[in-house]
Amino acid sequence: MQTYKLGVIGTGYVGLVTAACLAEIGHDVIALDVDEGKISNLRSGVMPIHEPGLSELVHRNSGRRLRFTTSYDEVVPWTDVVFIAVGTPSDSNGDVELRYVWQAVDTIAHHVHRPLIVAVKSTVPVGTCDMIEKRLREMVRAARGNTVSDGISVVSNPEFLREGRAVADFMKADRIVIGSSEPEPARVLKEIYSPLGVPFVFCDRRSSELIKYASNAFLATKISFINSIARLCERVGADVVKVAEGMGYDHRIMPEHLRAGLGYGGSCFPKDTAALLRICSKVGFDFKILKAAVEVNDSQVDWVIDKLRAVLGELAGKTVAVWGIAFKPNTDDTRESPALRLISRVLQLGATVKAYDPVATPDGNLPGLVVCSDAASCVKHADALVVATEWAEFVNMDFTSVREQMKNPICIDARNCLNPSEVLEAGFRYLGLGRSISIG
Ligand SMILES: NC(=O)c1ccc[n+]([C@@H]2O[C@H](COP(=O)([O-])OP(=O)(O)OC[C@H]3O[C@@H](n4cnc5c(N)ncnc54)[C@H](O)[C@@H]3O)[C@@H](O)[C@H]2O)c1
């Protein structure tokens, strides 16, 4: 296998995992971030994020094939391929904020002295890689002439890893998408990833950029679909967990993302669905299904609030315990977390909210929220418990001892992750979403 010198710009969930995994499969990697604190922590072995298996990979490769820096000058002149993995958040209109991408591109341009492949891992709107290549070539041509600028190629290489299983997803990716207008950069990217032994999809850059948005939009729609089926289940007396199980065995459907719950969140689905809808509106396409999926998701938290009010009456003066702050288990990421949306709504309605999460802490300002250090103190004297993130710790809890702590034994399983019989046997009133079991 040929090993390459690789630079990775951005050491967030995608960049750090990419850098550590590429080093693990044998390449020489320098990971760069503008956040000096993050880089100095990484150099001393302190992880900026919680991601299973990541710390082991970083420790094993640090100082050998993996280095960390804040200096573009150390990376760009040295590297064969530079991966851009900086954030692309939404602005207030749902448009993609490309500020960090352009900062990275412009800084790369100032340091290019020889031919370079730039692989864009950040999720960017269709056509962005074309613009990046044009801008890089223009800037480099002005500074160093045609020979260097003509050797610059931009490849779209979107990332599909899931937080909470990012290392495993990278190492055993379902597919690697390589969007390139030239064969040689595509060949180099293929060679870099070849030790992973996973399927490749080769295409043009625009198709590659759209594959990422289409995939996330499809998965978001799948979640909203099962959440809609859950609402129907309540009306017709069916159990969505069984309906999903029966559907998921069909290999054309598959069980993943078919669990009814509080809805999707995180740093990708909400912003990527919003971005795709903006892309659609700019080209005059009315993407009705996706609009409906977003609308359903936006109302999931209210559905759970309705359930809380149905069992507690007015929430003012009540104490609600919420287990889970992260947007999903096994991550500390709280960006667009439905659990935080729920907490914020319950606080607005005048209740006291106590919350506990095994690793995540709320980043925003939620006046009145009491953050607890363990699950037991969180439920003490609570009028109701809402399970908002399906951490294994909650699934495996001894509900008899939980009930003893609470004022009212009411449990709203907003992720349908608990065993209802166990919760009912412990003396709780149990309410799932779209489940026939809502008695006790
Ligand atoms: N998080 C995910 O699960 C996931 C999955 C697939 C794709 N993506 C996409 O990957 C991209 C990165 O996402 P993330 O979650 O890793 O973001 P993140 O916010 O966790 O990390 C981004 C990092 O980039 C750094 N950065 C910003 N500007 C920089 C610059 N000019 N030079 C160097 N570093 C810079 C920031 O300091 C930060 O550490 C986004 O486009 C996202 O949509 C994310």
**Interval 391-420: pLDDT, tens:** 999 999 999 999 999 999 999 999 999 999
Measure 16 CA to ligand 1 centroid, in angstroms: 9
Measure 11 CA to ligand 1 centroid, in angstroms: 7
Q: Report, as an integer, the average pLDDT of 264-288.
A: 96
Q: Could you tell me the pLDDT band of residue 1, with boundaries at 50, 70 and 90?
A: confident
Give the distance, in angstroms, between the CA of residue 369 and the centroid of all CA atoms in the same chain: 24
Host H or E run for residue 117: strand 116-120
440 has binding-site annotation: no
**Interval 61-79: pLDDT, tens:** 999 999 999 999 999 999 9
- Angle at which helices 288-312 and 338-348 cross, to 10°: 50
Q: What are phi and psi of 68, to 5 degrees?
A: -125, 140
Q: From CA 126, how far away is CA 230, in angstroms rounded?
A: 34
Instruction: Please report the atom of ligand 1 found closest to the CA of residue 88.
Output: 41
Nearest residue (by CA) to ligand 1, atom 35, is 10
Q: Is the pLDDT of residue 93 over 90?
A: no
Q: Is the pLDDT of residue 251 over 60?
A: yes
pLDDT > 90 in the chain, percent = 94
Q: Does the C-beta of 15 come closer than 6 Å to ligand 1?
A: yes
Q: Does the C-beta of 24 come closer than 6 Å to ligand 1?
A: no
Q: Does the C-beta of 104 come closer than 6 Å to ligand 1?
A: yes
CA proximity to 137, closest of 175, 201, 189, 182 = 182
**Interval 303-323: pLDDT, tens:** 999 999 999 999 999 999 999
Q: Could you tell me the pLDDT band of residue 160, with boundaries at 50, 70 and 90?
A: very high
Measure 94 CA to ligand 1 centroid, in angstroms: 17
Domains in the chain (CATH in brackets) are: 5-203 (3.40.50.720), 240-431 (3.40.50.720)
Secondary structure, 3-state, 395-431 = HCCCHHHHHHHCCCCEEEECCCCCCHHHHHHCCCEEE
Helix (H, G, I), strand (E, B) or coil at 199: coil
Least confident of 148-152, 203-207, 318-322, 323-327: 148-152
Measure 100 CA to ligand 1 centroid, in angstroms: 9
**Interval 343-379: pLDDT, tens:** 999 999 999 999 999 999 997 789 889 999 999 999 9
Q: Does the C-beta of 75 come closer than 6 Å to ligand 1?
A: no
Average pLDDT of every residue of the chain: 96
Q: Is the pLDDT of residue 10 over 50?
A: yes
282 has binding-site annotation: no
Q: What are phi and psi of 241, to 5 degrees?
A: -65, -40
Q: Could you tell me the pLDDT band of residue 94, with boundaries at 50, 70 and 90?
A: confident
Q: Is the pLDDT of residue 51 over 80?
A: yes
Q: Does the C-beta of 13 come closer than 6 Å to ligand 1?
A: yes
Q: Could you tell me the pLDDT band of residue 437, with boundaries at 50, 70 and 90?
A: low
Helix (H, G, I), strand (E, B) or coil at 249: coil
Query: What is the model's pLDDT at position 364?
Result: 73
Query: What is the model's pLDDT at position 379?
Result: 98
Catalytic hit among 21, 233, 268, 417: 268
Q: Is the pLDDT of residue 333 over 50?
A: yes
Q: Is the pLDDT of residue 438 over 70?
A: no
Q: Tell me if residue 268 is catalytic.
A: yes
Q: What is 261-277 written as a DSSP string? A: SS---TTTHHHHHHHHH
Q: Up-side HSE of residue 205: CA atoms within 13 Å toward CB? A: 24
Query: What is the model's pLDDT at position 436?
Result: 74
380 has binding-site annotation: no
Host H or E run for residue 119: strand 116-120
**Interval 223-239: pLDDT, tens:** 999 999 999 999 999 99
Q: What residue has token string 């962005």? A: 128
Collect all residues with Cβ–Cβ distance below 8 Å to 375 and sequence separation of at least 6: 323, 356, 393, 394, 397, 402
* Pocket perturbation via mutation, ligand 1, pick of 8, 11, 14, 84 by most ligand atoms within 8 A of CB: 14
Q: From CA 30, how far away is CA 81, in angstroms rounded?
A: 11
Residue 244: CB atoms within 10 A of its CB come to 21
